[in-house]
Amino acid sequence: MEIDVKDLTDIPPYWEMMQTFRLPRFQYTVRDVKSGMLFLGFADEISELHAETMARYVLGAIAPH
The domain spans of the chain are 2-62
Q: Is the pLDDT of residue 43 over 90?
A: yes
pLDDT at residue 65, as a whole number:
63
Mean pLDDT value of segment 22-46: 95
Pairing of strands 26-31, 38-43: antiparallel
State if pTM tops 0.75. Answer: yes
Q: Please state the separation of Cα 19 from the chain's center in Å.
A: 19
2-26 tens-digit pLDDT: 999 999 999 999 999 999 999 999 9
Nearest to 41 by CA among 13, 10, 4: 4
Burial of 49 (0-12, 13-18, 19+ CB in 10 A): exposed
Pairing of strands 2-7, 38-43: unpaired
* Helix, strand or coil, per DSSP, at residue 34: coil
pLDDT at residue 61, as a whole number:
87
